Amino acid sequence: MRVAIVGTGYVGLTTAACLAYLGHEVACVDSDQQKVATLCSGGLPIFEPYLAELLALSQGRISFTSDPSTALPSAEVIFVAVGTPPGENGSPDLRFVRSAAESIGRNLGHGSSTVVVNKSTVPIGSGSWVDSIVRDSMERGMAARFSVASNPEFLREGCALSDTLYPDRVVLGTADAASRKVLEELYHPILEQTFQPPPFLPRPAGYHKVQLVSTDVTSAELIKYAANAFLALKISYINEIGALADRVGADILEVARGIGLDSRIGSRFLNRGSVGAGHASARTQRLWFLQPPNTIWRCPSFRPPARSIPASGILLSRNCKVNYGS
């Protein structure tokens, strides 16, 4: 399948490498010409274990450009994987998503049928917003069909490739049966685990088929935000219990182990002091919604307890530095 990926940052580049490894033709577009030059000359703008090796195995099926007009018109699937950094008040800055959507609208191929897939973490309701921007940016009278879908990303930096090839689940939010079929075909090798694993990324023991959550666009967008929020809650919760353990003279490590061994709860994300991981950092985690006419608002009832974050937490991600200023 012919795939284009707009934004070759962490998510875009690792997704591109995995899809090309699986046999798809992947064209990556990035507005950062320096980054594209590095990638074209065989360099890597990020460090991710085995990324260089995976790209070497995908040579001939992956290309890099800063010119969307060479990459987008022939793509059957276009992923939007641009950044959505926190703005002034913590709400996501959507200007890169907007410019990516405009560029897609201007570069759809004549007579083409394309699924535009949002992989960036975007506020709930962004699907129809992106749809309207793509539509408004199309040339007048242009005969091209497209549909906007949501495929939220759950990878962790440092394990991005195995998280993509061997995910806990794949979430596909689509507006129609035709786009669902296209995306299920794209992900078929991952969903059914029919590919030969790269020698350096073996399939985990006992890992077989992948759970597919096939749903509507809005539900897919909410799944991503709700999953981030739940992880943030778990971190905040164990920090609250840690504060209580200090006061009553209990051992928080034993308490966390005792809680986490309950299979309904699980032990992951119950480490005291883990202030945030990836984009699900506890203090800044909010539920953001996009409402016509493009007003972003915050779910008023959701706010993890800020005081549960210790001043000297363990920084698990480069993104946390921005959020915590420590």
Ligand X SMILES: NC(=O)c1ccc[n+]([C@@H]2O[C@H](COP(=O)([O-])OP(=O)(O)OC[C@H]3O[C@@H](n4cnc5c(N)ncnc54)[C@H](O)[C@@H]3O)[C@@H](O)[C@H]2O)c1
Nearer to ligand X, 82 or 282 (CB): 82
Nearer to ligand X, 69 or 254 (CB): 69
Chain centroid to CA 202: how far? Answer: 23
Tell me, by CB under 6 A, how many residues bind ligand X.
27
Q: Is 153 in the site for ligand X (CB under 6 A)?
A: yes
Residues 227-266 that bind ligand X (CB under 6 A): none
- Of the candidates 155, 222, 223, 290, which one interacts with ligand X according to CB under 6 A? 155
Q: Is 290 in the site for ligand X (CB under 6 A)?
A: no
Site string for ligand X, 100-119 (x = CB under 6 A): x--x----------------
Give residues with Cβ within 8 angstroms of 32, minimum separation 6.
Answer: 66
- Of the candidates 21, 22, 26, 35, which one interacts with ligand X according to CB under 6 A? 35
Nearer to ligand X, 106 or 203 (CB): 106
Residue with CB nearest ligand X? 9
Distance CA 282, CA 288 (A): 14
- Of the candidates 3, 4, 6, 222, which one interacts with ligand X according to CB under 6 A? 6
Q: How far is the CB of 146 from ligand X (least distance, A)?
A: 17
Stretch that binds ligand X, among 93-101, 186-194, 250-258, 281-289 (CB under 6 A): 93-101
Nearer to ligand X, 29 or 229 (CB): 29
Residues 7-26 that bind ligand X (CB under 6 A): 7-12
Nearer to ligand X, 13 or 256 (CB): 13
**CA distances from residue 311 to 167, 287, 306, 308 in whole angstroms, order as listed:** 33, 24, 11, 9
Contacts to ligand X by CB under 6 A: 6-12, 29-32, 35, 81-84, 96, 99-100, 103, 120-121, 153, 155, 157, 278-279
